[in-house]
């Protein structure tokens, strides 16, 4: 793979950290170097104080026209890499020297009132006024019920809100940490949050607090459901304090930490872990997929460009034509959705090539190693055709949205010859699937 160029997000330390973490992990796994341009072309400017493995970071301040055809514009980045889970940081470090003595303390981070919006559709990173008030109330309850004895340092870009929270927590020991010479206030706050014993995320969602927890490997306390589309992309030491005051320890699936696995697909939609050695050995990917979402097949092809896709039940063109008729019949904003569908077709055609796009394949006598991707209901057809062949190497069997038979995967697992297949039942967010690996 050639050396890649990436022009970064021009706003916020948390947003930039997300890019650096995912790019560094990708570059390290593929043994490449990426040129990352730290983008200070807008009014929100921060000098770079991060180092990242396999990334060469260069600050730029003038960018009149956004560059095109770089890695940040690729579908590989936008659809797949940008949705990979962020864990505790090993590849990313902060270049901050602090000569001040650090004591044990609890950090409370609260987003400013500029992050409060009204209405039913609240975007990630924002919250309603009611949710903001709730987090302050539960932060106080959490500290009382856990009988906290450590001093508390409060961090916020909104000084008025910070003073209000200090008054609300007046019965606790509130401290101010000493300034760090020659660094911006945002970096100082990020550093001190990362050094705390634990972080109370006193907001619905904050990449700033999550970044600090990733850097510092400390516990992060939240008062919201961790399975929303953005929070579930952070596999950290997250402690969820519920309304009924039950403390539930929520730790995301640790599979992402396994260096021998790759998550294929878009984490926000549907993705599955596959062993890297299987990905590299696979010559044919046999897919029983009939849904409009083809992220698993596309990502598999991007990771292993030599594979040949075999669409067993339907061609991609037929899938997209069915989607087109549904748009025409049921959707209101047809023109925009049809344009989006056409763009998807072009991208899939370029990635997956002509044959799987226009033809389905019923050939079950494949001469080289192949991998099978199907849902629970298709397994019973796939098993006699593909699983007993000497070139079968592995499979993902999942429960689709229509089939809520939670015992179905266990039924498959119990039916397999355990001397022949190694099976693992995985429940990740709303996904339930079985990963099957052939035993030599």
Report the 10 Å Cβ neighbour count for 257.
13
Strand (E) or helix (H) holding 352: helix 334-352
Place of tokens 């100082």: 188
Q: What is the pLDDT of residue 166?
A: 93
> What residues does 93 pair with on adjacent strands?
51
Report the 10 Å Cβ neighbour count for 330.
8
**Is the per-residue pLDDT at 210 higher than 80?**
yes
Distance between CA atoms of residues 371 and 165, nearest Å: 55
The angle that helices 185-195 and 13-29 make with each other, rounded to 10 degrees, is: 60
Residue 114 or residue 117, greater confidence: 117
- What letter does residue 182 receive in the DSSP assignment? T
**Is the per-residue pLDDT at 249 higher than 60?**
no
Q: What is the pLDDT of residues 47-92, one digit of tens each?
A: 999 999 999 999 999 887 778 789 999 999 999 999 999 999 889 9
Tokens of 316: 């991609």
Say which CATH class 259-314+360-438 falls into: alpha beta
Q: What is the pLDDT of residues 340-367, one digit of tens each?
A: 999 999 999 999 988 899 999 989 899 9
The CA distances from residue 160 to 8, 110, 176, 186, in Å, are 32, 11, 16, 17
Residue ranges, comma separated, of all CATH 3.40.50 domains in the chain are 106-252, 259-314+360-438
Report which of 82, 70, 75 is spatially closest to residue 25, judged by C-alpha positions: 82
The answer to whether 125 and 207 are in contact (CB under 8 A) is yes
Query: Considering the chain, what is the average pLDDT of its residues?
Result: 87
Q: What is the pLDDT of residues 266-280, one digit of tens each?
A: 988 899 999 999 999
- Note the helical H segments in 63-206: 75, 129-145, 159-168, 185-195
Q: What is the pLDDT of residue 256?
A: 44
Average pLDDT for residues 380-408, to the nearest whole number? 83
Q: What is the pLDDT of residue 246?
A: 37
Residue 224 or residue 352, greater confidence: 352
Q: What is the pLDDT of residues 132-164, one digit of tens each?
A: 888 888 999 999 999 999 999 999 988 998 999
Average pLDDT for residues 258-262, to the nearest whole number? 76
Q: For residue 101, report the phi and psi dihedrals to the nearest 5 degrees.
A: -70, 135
Report which of 190, 212, 188, 265 is spatially closest to residue 86, judged by C-alpha positions: 212
Q: What is the pLDDT of residue 407?
A: 72
Average pLDDT for residues 166-192, to the nearest whole number? 93
Distance between CA atoms of residues 77 and 84, nearest Å: 10
Say which CATH class 106-252 falls into: alpha beta
């Amino acid at each position: 793979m050639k050396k890649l160029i990436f022009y970064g997000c021009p706003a916020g330390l948390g947003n930039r950290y997300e890019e650096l973490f995912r790019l560094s992990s990708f570059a390290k796994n593929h043994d490449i170097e990426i040129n990352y341009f730290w983008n200070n072309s807008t009014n929100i400017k921060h000098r770079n104080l991060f180092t990242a493995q396999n990334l060469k970071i260069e600050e730029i301040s003038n960018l009149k026209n956004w560059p095109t055809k770089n890695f940040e514009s690729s579908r590989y980045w936008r659809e797949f890499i940008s949705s990979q889970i962020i864990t505790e940081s090993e590849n990313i470090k902060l270049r901050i020297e602090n000569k001040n003595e650090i004591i044990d303390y609890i950090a409370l981070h609260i987003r400013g009132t500029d992050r409060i919006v009204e209405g039913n559709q609240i975007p990630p990173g924002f919250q309603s006024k009611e949710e903001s008030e709730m987090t302050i109330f539960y932060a106080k309850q959490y500290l009382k019920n856990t009988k906290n004895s450590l001093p508390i340092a409060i961090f916020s870009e909104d000084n008025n809100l910070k003073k209000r929270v200090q008054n609300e927590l007046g019965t606790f020991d509130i401290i101010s940490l000493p300034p760090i010479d020659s660094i911006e206030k945002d970096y100082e706050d990020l550093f001190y949050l990362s050094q705390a014993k634990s972080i109370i995320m006193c907001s619905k969602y904050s990449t700033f607090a999550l970044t600090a927890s990733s850097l510092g490997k400390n516990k992060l306390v939240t008062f919201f459901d961790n399975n929303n589309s953005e929070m579930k992309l952070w596999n950290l030491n997250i402690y969820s304090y519920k309304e009924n005051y039950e403390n539930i320890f929520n730790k995301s699936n640790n599979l992402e930490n396994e260096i021998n696995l790759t998550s294929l697909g878009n984490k926000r939609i549907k993705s599955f872990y596959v062993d890297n050695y299987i990905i590299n050995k696979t010559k044919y990917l046999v897919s029983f997929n009939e849904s409009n979402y083809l992220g698993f097949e596309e990502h598999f092809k991007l990771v292993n460009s030599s594979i040949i896709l075999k669409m067993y039940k339907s061609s991609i063109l037929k899938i997209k034509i069915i989607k087109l008729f549904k748009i025409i019949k049921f959707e209101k904003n047809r023109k925009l959705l049809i344009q989006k569908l056409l763009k998807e077709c072009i991208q899939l055609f370029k990635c997956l090539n002509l044959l799987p796009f226009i033809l389905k394949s019923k050939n079950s006598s494949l001469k080289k190693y192949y991998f099978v991707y199907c849902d629970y209901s298709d397994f019973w057809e796939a098993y006699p055709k593909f699983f007993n062949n000497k070139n079968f190497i592995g499979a993902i069997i999942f429960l689709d949205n229509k089939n809520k038979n939670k015992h179905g995967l266990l039924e498959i697992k119990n039916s397999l010859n355990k001397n022949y297949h190694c099976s693992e039942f995985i429940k990740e967010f709303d996904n339930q699937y079985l990963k099957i690996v052939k035993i030599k």
